[in-house]
């Protein structure tokens, strides 16, 4: 299996003086960059046309700024609730010579202001790599990590906004800690079809590790605690569990199931998609069998032990990307982005 470090070249422009707001863990951002680039490439636009991109929960602005470096017609609106993020991303845009094509503003995902700004901007591509760690009721984690008791709130809000503003494509990142299939179903109900999926196995981090016992009891949370898997993801012996990070590119598409809902032949609440089922199954297999299951997802469905109950990957093989990011790889990525230690 490939290391996510194979994709690290995408982050090369983001070394000091590029700055990060709050605590920065690069793995989910890198995966989101991969999905955002795939989403951008799948959008067919007329030559010379302006290409507005909006990034929600934009933090340092990295994902959006990366897209601007690849597409000279792209413009960026970045929104984040954190004042420091707005200031830092603005400075980053200047340092990269991209300031004339982007602006950042402070705006809460749930505010009217965010909806108004998006309605005015009419983005062709909407990007969101939000906080995703489920928070035990009664506790509040740092703003860059905590995502409510269920862990999916920010993404479901992003999908609500997408349904209202209707960008041509989405790039989202999420994880196996909080109902991963619900994100794919939610996207489809909002009118978006998954076109590319990026998955990485990683070890728990500071935030996710701090809620380990809560995660164990959470419905639809998929983690693996087996020693063989932990030895692969964290040879330092310090991991409590491993989990899956996801990032997906989605294209706006009114599929046949949606037409049936519109025609009253099917109830939207009964809908579950093949892609969502595939994601759920991958997570269940990973929680049960760890790395072994994850590598087996590469083989055709008929070679699994229970072929009748299995769903083969609904995406072409070239659009399903699996990686491992071990603790050593994570360290290498951090050193690359934050600069070598003195």
Ligand X SMILES: C[S@@+](CC[C@H](N)C(=O)[O-])C[C@H]1O[C@@H](n2cnc3c(N)ncnc32)[C@H](O)[C@@H]1O
Q: How far is the CB of 106 from ligand X (least distance, A)?
A: 9
Burial status of residue 298 (CB atoms within 10 A of its CB: 0-12, 13-18, 19 or more): exposed
Looking at the Cβ atoms of 150 and 266, the one nearer to ligand X is: 150
Task: Choose which of 7, 121, 135, 144 interacts with ligand X (CB under 6 A).
Answer: 144
Q: How far is the CB of 132 from ligand X (least distance, A)?
A: 7
Q: Does 143 participate in binding ligand X (rule CB under 6 A)?
A: yes
Q: Does 82 participate in binding ligand X (rule CB under 6 A)?
A: yes
Binding-site size, ligand X (CB under 6 A)? 21
Q: How far is the CB of 271 from ligand X (least distance, A)?
A: 28
Chain positions 98 to 117 lying near ligand X, rule: CB under 6 A, are: 108-109
Q: Does 37 participate in binding ligand X (rule CB under 6 A)?
A: no
Q: Which stretch binds ligand X (CB under 6 A): 75-83, 90-98, 191-199, 316-324?
A: 75-83
Q: How far is the CB of 285 from ligand X (least distance, A)?
A: 27
155 vs 178: CA distance, rounded Å: 11
42 vs 45: CA distance, rounded Å: 9
Find all residues with CB under 8 Å of 112, minimum gap 6, and list them. Answer: none
Q: How far is the CB of 79 from ligand X (least distance, A)?
A: 6
Q: Which stretch binds ligand X (CB under 6 A): 41-49, 69-77, 125-133, 201-209?
A: 125-133
324 vs 294: CA distance, rounded Å: 10
In sequence order, the β-bridge partners of residue 170 are: 126, 250
Structure tokens at 189: 């109900």
Residue with tokens 């929104």: 79
Q: Which residue is at the shortest CB distance from ligand X?
A: 59
In sequence order, the β-bridge partners of residue 217 are: none
Find all residues with CB under 8 Å of 201, minimum gap 6, and list them. Answer: 233, 242, 243, 244, 286, 291, 294, 322, 323, 324, 325
Chain positions 241 to 270 lying near ligand X, rule: CB under 6 A, are: none
Task: Choose which of 36, 52, 60, 151 interacts with ligand X (CB under 6 A).
Answer: 60
Signed CA dihedral, 284, 285, 287, 291: sign only:
negative
Can you give the binding site for ligand X, defined by CB under 6 A? 21-22, 29, 32, 57-60, 62-63, 80-82, 85, 108-109, 129-131, 143-144
């Amino acid at each position: 299996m490939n290391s996510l470090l194979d994709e690290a070249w995408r982050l090369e422009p983001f070394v000091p003086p590029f700055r990060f707001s709050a605590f920065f863990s690069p793995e989910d951002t890198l995966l989101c960059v991969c999905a955002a680039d795939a989403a951008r490439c799948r959008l067919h636009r007329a030559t010379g046309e302006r290409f507005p991109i909006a990034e929600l929960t934009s933090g340092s602005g990295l994902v959006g700024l990366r897209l601007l470096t690849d597409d000279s017609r792209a413009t960026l609106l970045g929104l984040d609730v954190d004042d420091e993020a707005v200031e830092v991303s603005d400075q980053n845009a200047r340092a990269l010579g991209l300031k004339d094509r982007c602006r950042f503003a402070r705006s809460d995902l749930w505010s009217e202001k965010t909806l108004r700004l998006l309605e005015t901007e009419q983005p062709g591509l909407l990007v969101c790599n939000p906080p995703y760690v489920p928070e035990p009721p009664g506790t509040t984690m740092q703003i860059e990590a905590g995502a409510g008791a269920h862990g999916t709130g920010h993404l479901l809000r992003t999908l609500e906004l997408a349904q209202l503003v209707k960008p041509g494509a989405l790039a989202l990142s999420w994880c196996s800690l909080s109902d991963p299939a619900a994100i794919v179903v939610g996207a489809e109900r909002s009118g978006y079809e998954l076109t590319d999926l990026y998955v990485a196995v990683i070890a728990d981090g500071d935030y996710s590790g701090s809620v380990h016992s809560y995660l164990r009891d959470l419905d639809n949370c998929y983690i693996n605690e087996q020693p063989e898997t932990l030895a692969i993801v964290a040879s330092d012996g310090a991991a409590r569990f491993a989990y899956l990070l996801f990032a997906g590119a989605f294209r706006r598409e009114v599929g046949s199931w949606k037409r049936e809902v519109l025609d009253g032949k099917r109830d939207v609440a009964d809908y579950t998609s093949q892609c969502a089922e595939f994601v759920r199954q991958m997570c269940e297999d990973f929680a049960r069998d760890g790395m072994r299951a994850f590598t087996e997802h590469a083989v055709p469905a008929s070679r699994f032990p229970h072929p009748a109950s299995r769903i083969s990957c609904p995406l072409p093989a070239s659009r399903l990307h699996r990686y491992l990011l071990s603790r050593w790889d994570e360290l290498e990525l951090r050193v690359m982005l934050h600069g070598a230690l003195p």
